[in-house]
């Protein structure tokens, strides 16, 4: 009995030093414990041993530079018709300055794969099994325990230089992920831009009987679009407490188009609010593009697009850790760019004065907005693993410079009798609001991400999650159009570049918060 007790004590002592022991986390009392395999009574005679057998240990050189091994034989305990055999793998140490890396070499992580239950496999954290005890190697080089994957030594037994930040090209220090993203923009509301009338004598004026909206008056760019994201990171220390992470993402280009002509709608008109000073009060008007009663044939085309993408770089420093979870503080640089544009073009052939005196009128309004953010970011990143399942969360906010550029261009050309006259005025873009305006302000870019992962292979996780990112004080096309569609169509006085009276359309710009959100599916390579 005494020999059996000594043997069991020796086995436990050795088990605490093995690479397996360094990987199992004690999180709760119901954590399953290791059970020795039971072998049948007809096991090989070579497996039998007397209970009084002694252990034979090879000498272990704790100061050896390459590999130290401890090997020993085990007793076989005969109980009834079954024999129970307890064993542990021999202790191995590779690269004393770095440790055993999961996924490279001995694989103390998912290379063991006992089936996700005991968690020396799927429960191993990407930090190579290192369990932080709350202090950093920077501030306290002696009080932090390094787990089995990092040499099974305390930091105090090494030089403090081993705990400093460094960039390594060793592939075992790098991790990456790629995600397919299905993203929705918040959308933007446009005023009524194209009208029609049910009556043949109608003119597509807003508010008139029998008038309806063909395009506008609702939200656009709020449909799902595909996008993508790539993340690349590297650990900066042996304990995997600090990392450098690069991310780049792009929301798919969101487009909208509308086109019609006199074959589909007998009356086509562009509405506006006429603020000509010759009128006693502003009145609703329209530019008729096609109307059978007015002998006009024409067409209109509207197209718009939005492109959004960004990138960031962050240093992540472990703040809290325990029970299989970690919380990192991150700080770094954030970049985000959003471009939004729309173009309205119409073509009208007016034969009201006879076919030989027909007039061809082409009108174009173009709006283009560019938003560019550069700033610093601060946030928290959390990660947790339970068996084959994992969770990663991110919440951060960036503050910095928001640079915005708006460009509005209007033009029209009138051709009659072989003579063409060009004018730098459209309908909604005229001399009162045409041109380029640049502005900058302090803006914010908050971001939230939650990802659920499942361990697919030894170093690959399949992931699914939700992501949202926003940009404050952003400029979109809807903020560049005069909301009243006010137009001063009076003649420009000689020597002036703007019409007399009210300066409409207005050159004012309106800013709002732009955001894009959606779900993502991906694959993550972890070490």
**With a threshold of 0.75, does the pTM exceed it?**
no
498 within domain boundaries = yes
128 within domain boundaries = no
How many Cα atoms sit within 13 Å of 336 on the Cβ side?
28
434 within domain boundaries = yes
Query: Has residue 428 got a pLDDT over 50?
Result: yes
257 within domain boundaries = yes
240 within domain boundaries = yes
Q: What are phi and psi of 279, to 5 degrees?
A: -90, 150
What would the pLDDT profile of 148-189 be if each residue is shown by its tens digit?
333 333 344 444 444 577 787 888 889 999 999 999 999 999
278 within domain boundaries = yes
204 contacts 268 by C-beta, under 8 angstroms: yes
Which residues, in sequence order, are CB contacts of 491 under 8 Å at separation 6+? 499
The residue-averaged pLDDT of 190-218 equals 88
Number of domains within the chain: 1
pLDDT at 60: 42
CA-based angle 256:257:263, to the nearest 5? Answer: 155
Q: Give strand ranges (E) for 432-504.
A: 435-457, 460-475, 486-487
The residue-averaged pLDDT of 27-41 equals 44
What would the pLDDT profile of 364-408 be if each residue is shown by its tens digit?
999 999 999 999 999 999 999 888 999 999 999 999 999 999 999
Beta bridge partners of 399: 376, 444
The residue-averaged pLDDT of 83-108 equals 38
pLDDT greater at residue 456 or residue 147: 456
Cα dihedral 237→240→242→248 (10° resolution): 110
CA-CA distances (angstroms) from residue 352 to 104, 190, 198, 342, 416? 82, 32, 21, 31, 13
Binned at pLDDT 50, 70 and 90, residue 494 comes out as low
143 within domain boundaries = no
Domain boundaries, position 427: 176-525
pLDDT at 163: 58
What percentage of the chain exceeds 90 in pLDDT? 48
pLDDT greater at residue 252 or residue 17: 252
29 within domain boundaries = no
The residue-averaged pLDDT of 308-317 equals 96
The residue-averaged pLDDT of 45-62 equals 44
The residue-averaged pLDDT of 272-283 equals 89
CA-closest candidate to residue 488, choices 470, 501, 477, 507:
501
């Amino acid at each position: 009995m005494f020999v059996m007790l000594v043997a069991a004590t020796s086995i436990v002592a050795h088990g605490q030093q093995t690479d397996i022991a360094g990987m199992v986390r004690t999180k709760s009392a119901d954590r399953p414990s290791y059970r020795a395999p039971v072998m049948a009574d007809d096991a090989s005679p070579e497996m039998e041993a007397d209970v009084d057998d002694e252990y034979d240990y090879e000498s272990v050189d704790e100061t050896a530079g390459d590999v130290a091994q401890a090997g020993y034989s085990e007793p076989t305990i005969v109980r009834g018709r079954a024999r129970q055999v307890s064993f542990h793998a021999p202790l191995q140490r590779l690269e004393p300055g770095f440790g055993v890396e999961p996924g490279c070499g001995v694989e103390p992580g998912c290379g063991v794969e006992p089936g996700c239950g005991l968690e020396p496999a799927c429960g191993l954290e990407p930090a190579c099994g290192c369990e932080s005890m709350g202090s950093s190697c920077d501030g306290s080089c002696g009080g932090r325990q390094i787990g089995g994957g990092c040499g099974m030594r305390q930091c105090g037994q090494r030089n403090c230089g081993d705990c400093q930040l460094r960039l390594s090209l060793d592939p075992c220090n790098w991790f990456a992920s790629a995600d397919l993203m299905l993203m929705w923009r918040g959308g933007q509301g446009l005023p009524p831009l194209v009208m029609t009338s049910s009556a043949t004598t109608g003119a597509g004026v807003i508010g008139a009987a029998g008038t309806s909206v063909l395009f506008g008056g609702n939200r656009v760019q709020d449909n799902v679009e595909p996008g993508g994201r790539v993340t690349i990171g590297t650990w900066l220390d042996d304990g995997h407490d600090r990392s450098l992470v690069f991310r780049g993402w792009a929301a798919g280009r969101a487009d909208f188009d509308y086109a019609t002509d006199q074959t589909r709608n007998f009356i086509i008109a562009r509405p506006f609010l006429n603020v000509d000073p010759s009128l006693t009060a502003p009145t609703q008007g329209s530019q008729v593009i096609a109307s059978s009663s007015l002998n006009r044939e024409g067409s209109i085309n509207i197209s718009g697009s939005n492109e959004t993408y960004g990138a960031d770089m962050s240093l992540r420093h472990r703040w809290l850790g325990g029970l299989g979870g970690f919380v990192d503080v991150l700080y770094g640089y954030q970049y985000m760019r959003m471009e939004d544009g729309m173009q309205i073009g119409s073509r009208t052939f007016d034969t009201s004065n006879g076919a030989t005196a027909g007039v061809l009128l082409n009108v174009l309004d173009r709006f283009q907005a560019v938003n560019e953010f550069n700033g610093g970011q601060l946030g928290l990143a959390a990660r947790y693993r339970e068996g084959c399942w994992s969770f990663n969360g991110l919440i951060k906010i960036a503050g910095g410079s928001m640079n915005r550029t708006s460009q509005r261009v209007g033009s029209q050309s009138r051709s009659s009798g072989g003579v063409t006259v060009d004018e730098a005025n459209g309908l909604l873009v005229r001399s009162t609001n045409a041109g380029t305006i640049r502005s900058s302000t302090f803006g914010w870019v908050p971001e939230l991400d939650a990802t659920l992962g499942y361990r697919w292979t030894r170093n690959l996780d399949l992931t699914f999650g939700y992501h949202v990112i926003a940009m404050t004080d952003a400029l979109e096309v809807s903020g560049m159009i005069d909301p009243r569609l006010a137009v001063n169509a009076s003649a420009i006085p000689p020597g002036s570049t703007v019409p007399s009276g009210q300066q409409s359309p207005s050159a004012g710009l309106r800013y709002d918060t732009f955001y894009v959100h959606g779900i993502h599916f991906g694959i993550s390579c972890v070490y």
